Structure 1
């Protein structure tokens, strides 16, 4: 693809070419009209000089051609001059009889007409002089003309000079356009240089002291780097937390395996196997939650937001029935209303968050458990509620502090579940609220800004 400078220069050049054609036509038309007006005045002046020099002697017109008339016509030195003086009877008194008046101009006292002079295009002026004397009564017409070389030359000269001015101004415009484009691109070059010189791990915002038009791109670039920085930080924390969380259960499994290989008592071997199974199941749940957290972190910045009805999320999680398989002894009820509870979010992330809240309710709450979605004070809420009292107030406050520090992933598996729900809430502009309700029940809820109502 060509450079922006070349494209602007080409655009200006095309504009100048089109403008040059238009200006050429207009300049030639103006030049031809100006030349015609100027030389027509010379012809008319010469004809008037000749007409004023006609006198009457003994009843006959006497003509003495004035030098001044030909001096006026001498301003076109390369043109041929012709004249004809016509008496009252229509006879030629002097001059070229080849000069013929147009048939539709015989009654015109004065004016102009185009014709030819010995095969060359010519322009003529007519001046009539009326005599009313006893010896001469009638009109004498004076016809003076010249060829059109000087006229055409003047028209071409005006056109040529106009094109010279257009070419000079066009060249100046192209140079100015190049200079302006280069000056406009200078901030981009500075930005590119700054990005090239940066450390690959430096995702701090770029300097926004750039022209307003370029600031839009800088803001978008800074926003992209901020999202990338959040994802990288989240991934670094996830890797660190994974190493921290897995070290102990893996070491415990290895120790139990060593005990099993060195144990001779069959009953003790069975207990070791039970512990290994319990540890393996716990490790599996921990890995599932960590993978869920990685999915939520990834989708939080990359997934496309869409209008989601939180009632559908609660209904899908309830109908999937995972709780009935894993915790058949726990009763779960669905509580959704008839009004839509819509938010702008991502369906898989919301499902993952609700599943983790439900899993925590199974582990640490009391039946019956309810899941639902509702509108509360202009907020769209999806929640899980159980009959237990939940953690005490001090523990709830500590959980909130850990959410703010972003270190909950280092806690137990319950903390991981809440951390996943908290990440989903923050990703879509909401919050995780853990509270004891007025009915002596414990509720974990995700609160979001309700999406604007869609028109019918």
Structure 2
């Protein structure tokens, strides 16, 4: 079954339409055949019953009374009516008032032996063949004869069945012609429907591999949904490629100076003979190496959050869990043992629609900036503030300079990676995460003369239990 489903999914649209049309015609053919045969049989029965009734009436009208007994002179026109069924056998029986057969075939029996069956039609057999019979009474109320004479005329069913089959065949011929016309029309429609797709495919094939501009092709409304999705995908891909290009460019720019400085210090160390100066060079090498490592970590984190901002699936995230996980990791206690870090989360869930890993990376950078450049104590928390969900870091310092704060938004509004070092790049990462998930990075001094860096998002409503 899975293999069949897989083959069905890869089948062309033309084949699917052809299969659907074939099933429709087969099912419709069966239904139409049954209905046409039923209609044809009823039409044939009605037509030939009238012929039987006419013949029986002609015979009944020709009966007279002679010497107190019915006299029968079979009229020729009565049997001429039945010539419309030349292949059928014809039988008749005339029954007197006392139930005896005056003339005709005694083998023709009334239904279930009922002698009181005076008028109408019934089905029976005539010498082993199925037949249809009509009964017409002729009533006499004379001095010498008082009673009813019954005229029974019947014929076999060959003509009736042939008429029913002919009507069915004609209906099937019409169905076949209609099905052929529908199949041709369906082929034209499918071809017309696929033409915009072929146009889109041709346009994409002729494009330059680096051309990720939106597809601007006039297509039907139903196909426009695919064009919109394709343009959205190309836009995300373009942002990803731009991010990678900027990362490579910024990495080359940022690493050139530190690597050159490390090379120069290494050259000085190899040429220096004084042990005291060598120790200072080693200290500078360690400082440069640590700074370079932090820079690389932040640039890789920047590339990660930009990538996940476009590709990661949004999920319901409780910001309290992000703050708690970062606090329990305890990296701050190892790297900055002299700085007090406190956790402040409440009992009320603080849920947003975002990516957990990106939020954690952003909060880690905010905490790193506070530990590196702020003053103890440092607080990490999550809270609901005026209908907004916020995850934040506070320290007792005054925050970064105005030039850094002004540069964060301007750099990212232009979609370019920050080339700043230190807190500027950490704040830039946090800003990128906030923008990716529809939030803001808010940097402010609180009423307690503390500096707060917060990621603020739209809070999700709690699900009813």
Q: How does the TM-score come out when normalised to structure 2?
A: 0.92
Closer, same or farther in 2 for the Cα pair 1:72/1:204, shift >3 Å? same
Structure 1 residues 361 and 66, CA, compared in 2 at 3 Å: closer, same or farther? same
Deviation digits for residues 68-91 of structure 1, max 9, x if unmatched?
A: 212211222222222222333434
The structure-2 alpha-carbon separation of the partners of 1:365 and 1:408, relative to structure 1 and needing over 3 Å to count, comes to farther
Partner of 1:331: 340
Among 385, 389, 392, the alignment partner of 1:383 is: 392
CA separation in 2, counterparts of 1:122 and 1:286?
104
For residues 148-186 of structure 1, the C-alpha deviation after alignment (integer angstroms, 9 at most, x for no partner) is 221111111111111111222222222222322222222
Question: How far apart, in 2, do the equivalents of 1:65 and 1:30 lie?
Answer: 34
The corresponding residue for 1:151 is 160
User: How far apart in 1 are the matches of 2:340 and 2:295?
Assistant: 24
2:136 aligned with 1:120: no
> C-alpha distance in 1, partners of 2:342/2:424?
24
**Across the two proteins, how many residue pairs are aligned to each other?**
456
Uncovered stretches (5+) of structure 2, i.e. residues with no partner: 1-9
Cα separation, 2, equivalents of 1:365 and 1:408: 24
Q: Quick one: which of 221, 225, 241 aligns to 2:250?
A: 241
* CA drift at 1:392: 4.8
Q: What does residue range 334-413 of structure 1 map to in structure 2 within 5 Å?
A: 334-393=343-402, 395-407=404-416, 409-413=418-422
Work out the CA distance in 1 between the residues paired with 2:88 and 2:378: 113
Shift of residue 190, structure 1, vs aligned partner: 2.2
- Secondary structure at the counterpart of residue 409 of structure 1: coil
The verdict on how the C-alpha distance between 1:102 and 1:390 changes in structure 2, with shifts beyond 3 A counting, is closer
Partner deviation per Cα, 1:271-321 (whole Å, 9 max, x = no partner) = 222221211111111111112112222222222222222222222222322
| Matched residue SS, 2:109 | coil
* 1:306–1:345 Cα contact (<8 Å) kept: yes
CA shift for structure 1 position 101: 3.4
Structure 2 CA distance for aligned equivalents of residues 274 and 230 of structure 1: 41
**Alignment correspondent of 1:2:** 11
Work out whether 1:13 is the aligned partner of 2:7: no
Q: Equivalent residue of 1:113, what SS?
A: strand
Aligned to 2:56: 47
| Secondary structure in structure 1 of the residue aligned to 2:84 | coil
Helix, strand or coil at the partner of 1:243: helix
Could you list the per-position Cα deviations for residues 333-385 of structure 1 after superposition, in whole angstroms to 9, with x for gaps in the alignment? Answer: 22222222211222222221112112222332222222221111111111122
Check 1:91–1:321 CA distance in 2 against 1; reply closer, same or farther (3 A cut): closer
Distance 1:407 1:413, change over 3 A: farther
- Against the structure 1 CA distance between its residues 437 and 71, is the aligned structure 2 distance closer, same or farther, given a 3 Å change threshold? same
Structure 1, unmatched stretches of 5+, are none
Match of 1:132 in 2: 141
Q: Residue 307 and residue 444 in structure 1: after superposition, are their counterparts in 2 closer, same or farther (change >3 A)?
A: same
- 1:408–1:443 Cα change, 3 Å: farther
RMSD: 2.1
Q: How much has 1:324 moved relative to structure 2?
A: 2.2
Aligned counterpart, 1:37: 46
So what's the TM-score if we normalise by structure 1?
Answer: 0.93
Contact 1:408 1:415 (C-alpha < 8 Å) held by counterparts: no
SS of the aligned residue for 1:78 comes to coil
Aligned to 2:433: 424
| Partner Cα distance (2:131, 2:330) in 1 | 105
Aligned partner of 2:170 in structure 1 is 161
Match of 1:322 in 2: 331
The Cα of 1:390 is off from its aligned counterpart by 2.4
Match of 1:142 in 2: 151
